[in-house]
Amino acid sequence: MFNFLKLNLDCVYHNSKLHIEDLFEDTRREKIGIIQSLKDNVSHMLEWQNLTSNQEDVVREIEDYCNSVRDRFEYFIVLGVGGSALGAKVIFNSLCSSVHNMLSKEERKVPKFFVLDNIDPVEIDEYLSVIEPEKTLINVVSKSGTTTETMMHFLTFYEKIKKCVGEKNVNEHFVFITDKKQGILHELEISENIKSFYIPAGVGGRFSVLSPVGLLPACMLGLDINKLIDGARQMQIRCQSEKDNPAFDKAVLEYILNKKGVNIVVTIPYSSKLKEFSYWYAQILAESIAKEIDRNGNKINCGLTPVSALGATDQHSQLQLYMEGPEDKLIVCVKVNQFSKNLQCSSDAFNLKELQHLKNVEFGKLINAERKSTLCGLANRGVPYIEIEIEKIDEFALGQLFMLSMYEIAYLGELYNVDAYNQPGVEFGKKVTLAALGVDKYKDYLNACSFVSD
């Protein structure tokens, strides 16, 4: 079960510093047509909306593939960057044991799992030095097949594994997730007979977690991918409604708060299991909404800055800023009602009077007490916040969180009148990188960087 709680009206609407109750209601009423227009629009990059209804064959193919290879491999490594990696990291962190890779094969029953999404040479060398190539399956994720970081990883691991298992067997150690019709990985799929799954043409990387990009790693980990999709489907129904629509309400609130000078969104899940979720959300918010130009060609330089935090850890590192710093932040807190383990502090080994209040206290009760203390402090300071409540962390709830966030971002894009599915600011850096590597057609980009030292 997933509950999106009220938007804490006492704190947000009646905050004497903001006075946004009427503005929220007026904006919601004025922009309500966005909900239907998004539902009707199946063009451009909105095919992520179809991932809950047209993937039965894909799911079966993924399950069949994973069942056929899972027991053969000791290591499953995802090579990707950005949206090609962050979703898999959320799924693993949220739904698998924190010590998964330390467990024996008998205990975990599935391969050890790693995601490589950076090109730090020390990190890559460390992985190459410890993996057993003959026991390793590599999942290469790149829609275009030209993602510099991912392809650098791919070529390096391919050579390492080929030296061990031979040219005849090396391709069995790779599985691609890419475009169905074009790109380098698509060409290699055909020429080298490498197993591949596909990202639909109208699904961008940061909206791809419910495609094979997220489903394949989840299935390799023995998770229920049908349950993940079911949760997303239920939330999608809510996010297409004009009345009970948490994604639209959250987007409208963020939009009008931004007009009042609130331009930072801090996501604080009160569970270590959801730590990676805040990083996934940071990408989808930052890349989708931060745009220089709106659809009409007006220069607007809009955007909301995401900050990732963790409760209760960051109460001891960031909370002071949120309580007494600049009044430019919205806090989004994620509450978990039921933790999968019921652990308590049952010992008082030293019989200390000062610690008697901790005896027989459940850790779940403590973390929620700290969450409540944070929200009380924010309310007392007049800092706007939203609380999302989930009953427990499982595939169903995670699917709902993913879909809630994707619809929220889509609605924000419409509110700001920007293209939420491109990232022109990122493209410049990609071309400069290629120019620095000697790709001739991009050499002119280096002229713009002549003042930057190597």
Q: Which residues are catalytic?
A: 287, 316, 430
| Three-state DSSP class for residue 427 | helix
Distance CA 249, CA 82 (A): 27
Residues 6+ apart with CB under 8 A from 49: 38, 39, 42, 236
Sheet holding 2-4, edge to edge: 2-4, 385-390, 329-336, 264-269, 305-308
Distance CA 274, CA 86 (A): 12
Q: How far apart are the first and last CA of the chain?
A: 52
Distance CA 248, CA 138 (A): 38
Distance CA 309, CA 355 (A): 28
Distance CA 50, CA 145 (A): 24
Residue 370 per-residue DSSP state: H
For residue 228, give the nearest of 54, 52, 58, 83 by alpha carbon: 52
Distance CA 66, CA 111 (A): 11
Say if strands 299-302 and 291-293 run parallel, antiparallel, or are unpaired.
antiparallel
Distance CA 399, CA 231 (A): 5
Say if strands 385-390 and 329-336 run parallel, antiparallel, or are unpaired.
parallel
Kindly provide the b/e burial profile for residues 322-338, where b requires at least 16 CB atoms within 10 angstroms of the residue's own CB: beeeebebbbbbbbbee
CB 280 within 8 A of CB 86: yes
Tell me the sheet residues that pair with 390.
2, 336
CB 81 within 8 A of CB 88: no
* Tokens linked to 119: 């090109």
- Name residue 250's amino acid: K
| Phi, psi for 387 (deg, rounded to 5) | -120, 130
* Tokens linked to 111: 């391969």
